[in-house]
Amino acid sequence: MNQRETSSHRGVLSRYSALSVGVALLLVVSGCGARALDPAGPAAAAIADLWWVMFALSVIIFAGVMAALAFGIWGRRDDPEGRRERLGRHLVMIGGVLVPGLVILGLMAYNTYITVDLEEPDSTPVATVYVESHQWWWHVEYPDHDFATANEIHIPAGQPVTLRLHSSDVIHSFWVPELQGKRDMMPDHVGQIWLQADEPGTYRGQCAEFCGLQHAKMQFLVIAHEPAEFESWLEEQQTPPPDPVDDQALRGQQVFLESGCADCHTVRGTDAAGEVGPDLTNLASRRELGAGTLTNTRENLADWIIDSQRFKPGNLMPPVPMPDQDLQDLLAYLETLR
């Protein structure tokens, strides 16, 4: 190898090293990684610990391999007594067989311990929530309390909740980076996982398995309340909203029941019992529309009703064109659904 080739190899090597370090740093600071590494519950905390141990080991091993590589490239070549060759053989046995074997066994043991430990929470779950994934939204049911909502999961802070997970169509994956690891949702099997948040707050969840055109817009929120607040939320949800008293909202209810909305959506306490789309009984209290697509404001809701395909092409809701007066009445009605 001549001088020029050697220096160009060195250039390529240092560029690759810089790139690897850059990619590693990028992963650490990227939004997704940062949220999983900023745990807000015991399960995510255990997973984050595992991640940091693996990351630290990778950094040490990477530095060791780079040092051996540098030694190979820039070390002395002459070896009259065969010492370098003996050292090389030892290095291959220790660094190439013994150390990787121990590291892999150690990590496997730690990983298995965490996985088994995470199967069950430390205390008995205080509620069960059934979550069914659809292309591309989340049906959320509280079977012990007989009501359903969508794209929002309310839980008590500091207490575990059991989630039963099922898919109505393709494989999706349930993931709340700050609270738990991922869990696939299968059409032919009801899976189980538990959630616990240390503090009251709102935590974003995202489908983590590519499930079609709008996979990215398949989000949900986990809202953790103080336990007493959660109990009263459960209670409130069991009573459907009363029929509107206001004339405009009353006309809006007729629009809702007569213009096709009720074929796909449920509003408990009315004749609307469609099961194709999300249950809308508490729509006005939700923070977002279309599984994280839009903020739940009057304007966004109007745009969504008229043509949701503009915001989420391929979703099952067809455009629902209607005279402006009907739309205003309908909005007035939907605002009463809390």
**Nearer to ligand CUA (CB atom), residue 156 or residue 292:** 292
Q: Which stretch binds ligand CUA (CB under 6 A): 93-101, 111-119, 210-218, 253-261?
A: 210-218
The interface mask with ligand CUA, positions 94-133, x = CB under 6 A, is ---------------------------------------x
CB 320 within 8 A of CB 305: yes
Q: With binding defined as CB under 6 A, does residue 16 bind ligand CUA? A: no
Q: With binding defined as CB under 6 A, does residue 286 bind ligand CUA? A: no
How many angstroms separate the CA atoms of 192 and 170, rounded? Answer: 17
**Nearer to ligand CUA (CB atom), residue 207 or residue 267:** 207
Least gap, CB of 207 to ligand CUA (angstroms): 3
Count the helices and strands in the chain (H runs, E runs): 10, 12
The interface mask with ligand CUA, positions 158-197, x = CB under 6 A, is --------------x-------------------------
Q: With binding defined as CB under 6 A, does residue 209 bind ligand CUA? A: yes
How many angstroms separate the CA atoms of 202 and 11, rounded? Answer: 48
> Which residue matches tokens 């993931």?
175
Of 50, 136, 272, 278, the one binding ligand CUA by CB under 6 A: 136
Q: With binding defined as CB under 6 A, does residue 204 bind ligand CUA? A: no
CA atoms within 13 A on the CB side of 117: 13
Please state, in angstroms and as integers, the Cα–Cα distance from residue 323 to each residue in 114, 255, 328, following that order.
Answer: 58, 11, 9
> Which residue matches tokens 């949702």?
185
Q: With binding defined as CB under 6 A, does residue 279 bind ligand CUA? A: no
Q: With binding defined as CB under 6 A, does residue 301 bind ligand CUA? A: no
Q: Would you state the structure tokens that stand for residue 249, as one six-digit string?
A: 């909202």
CB 138 within 8 A of CB 131: yes
Burial class, 296, CB count within 10 angstroms (exposed 0-12 / middle 13-18 / buried 19+):
middle
**Nearer to ligand CUA (CB atom), residue 84 or residue 215:** 215
Which residues are at the interface with ligand CUA (CB under 6 A)?
Answer: 133, 136, 172, 207, 209-211, 215, 218
